[in-house]
Structure 1
C-alpha cells in the first residue's frame, strides 16, 4: 500500500513552533492560576491547567500528540518501503505510543505505584513511596530499545535528520518524565518550599510536552520522506521552498 502526503517539511516545522508556543501558554496559565488562586479562588481553572495533574488540559494535550504519533506509525507500517525495515517495527512503535497516550490521559503509571504499595514492594519506590512505575517501565524499555537498534541504524542511514530529531525528542522527554521526576521524589515532594516544587513542575512538564512535540515532528518528517521516497542521509530541508 502506498500513501501520499500533502504537507511540506516547512509546514511540519511551522506546526512544531505552533505546538511549542501552545505549551508555553499552558505553562503561563499554570503559573497564573497558581499565583492568583488564593486571591481569586479559581479552583476549577487551577485544576484545568495543572501541569502536574493527570486529567488536566496539558495532560490531554500531550496525550493527543502521542495518539497522533501512534496513528502515523501504524499507517507507516503498511506503507511501501524502499529500505528493509520490517512492518513489525512500526506496529510495535505504534502500540508503544498508543499505550503512552492512554497512560498520559488516564495515569496508568500511577496504578503501578498503587500496586507496589499494596504488595509492599518498597524496593521499587523512591522517597515518600512514589515512582514505582519508573523501574517497571525501564525494565521493558531497555530490552525493547536494544532490539530496535538494528532498525534504527538502517533508518539513520536513510532518514538521518528525522531520526536525529526523534532522538532529541526522546532525550528531552526522558529528562523531564524520568530525570526531573526522580529529583522531585528525592528532594521536593516532601519539601515545605512550594515555590521550588512549582518551578520543578514547570521544567519537568515543559520538557515532557516539548519532547513529545519533537517526536511528533520527527515522525511527520519520516512520513514525508517515506511517502515521497526521499531518502536523506543528511538534511537538505533548508533548500526547500516555503
Structure 2
C-alpha cells in the first residue's frame, strides 16, 4: 500500500438539507507520500533557484520590470515572503504529523509517546519561529551578555545550539528504538536541517565579520542554508508519512461535528 489515508467522519442527528453529507458517512482522503514529497521538493528547488536568480539580477543585471518586487517576494533570507511562508507551512505540517502520531502512541500507552509529543511541540515552535523570526531577536541580547563575534556574530546560534544538543541527547534512546530505515532517515533529515540552520550560519557570521553583509558570498551561503533547511524538513515529512504507512497502517484522523447547543426547552 503506497497511500496514507486521512478519514473524516461527520456525525449529526438532526435531519440534513439536500446535498449535505448524511449522518455517519465518511470522507476518505488518500494521498501518496512519495508524490507529496516530490511536489514539496520541486517547489523548494524552484524557490531556491528563483530566489538566487533574483539576487543575481539585482546585483549584476540591468533593471527590468518588477525586478524589485520579484526580489522582495523571493529573497531567501527575507520575511513575510514566499520562501518564508513555504518553510513555515512545512514545519507546521511536520508538527501536525508528529502530533497525530503522538496521539496514537498515547492511546496505546507507548513508552515514547511523550517524546513524539515533545518533537511535535518543537516543530510547532520552529514553525512559529520561522514565520516570526524569533531567533533573530536574540542576537543583540546574547551579544551584550557574552560579547561574541566572528563565527558567533549571529549569537542566537549559541542558545539554539545548546537546545539542539539537548534534544539530541534526550532523543538518543528514542532513536535507537525506531526501525533502522526510519531512524537513519530521521537522523539524516536532522543533520541537513542543523547543517543549514547552524553550520552555515556560523560561516555566515565569519563572512559578515570579515567581508561585510553585502558580500556576494553571503548570498550564496544564504541560498545553501535555506536549501538545506528545506531539504531536511521535507525529508522528515516523507519519513514520518512512511512511518505511518508501514507501522501505523490502521491510523485514521476523524473530524466529528456535534450539536453543542444542548437540549431545547419544550
CA contact (8 A) 1:77 1:88 kept: yes
- Per the alignment, residue 156 of structure 2 pairs with 133
How many Å apart are 1:7 and its aligned residue? 4.8
CA contact (8 A) 1:33 1:49 kept: yes
For residues 12-161 of structure 1, what are the structure 2 equivalents within 5 Å?
A: 12-37=33-58, 38-40=62-64, 42-80=67-105, 84-117=110-143, 120-123=144-147, 125-127=148-150, 130-155=153-178, 159-161=179-181
TM-score, normalised by the number of residues in structure 2: 0.74
CA contact (8 A) 1:189 1:197 kept: no
**Alignment coverage as a number of residue pairs:** 220
The alignment status of 1:174 with 2:194, answered yes or no, reads: yes
CA contact (8 A) 2:151 2:204 kept: no
Structure 1 residue runs of 5 or longer lacking an equivalent are: 231-242
Structure 2 residue runs of 5 or longer lacking an equivalent are: 7-28, 252-266
How many Å apart are 1:27 and its aligned residue? 1.6
| Bigger Rg over Cα | 2
Higher helix share: 1
Mapped to 2, the partners of 1:165 and 1:134 lie a distance apart of: 24
How many Å apart are 1:168 and its aligned residue? 0.9
Specify whether residues 128 and 173 from structure 1 end up closer, same or farther in structure 2 by C-alpha distance, changes over 3 A only. Answer: closer
| Aligned-CA RMSD value | 2.6
Higher strand share: 2
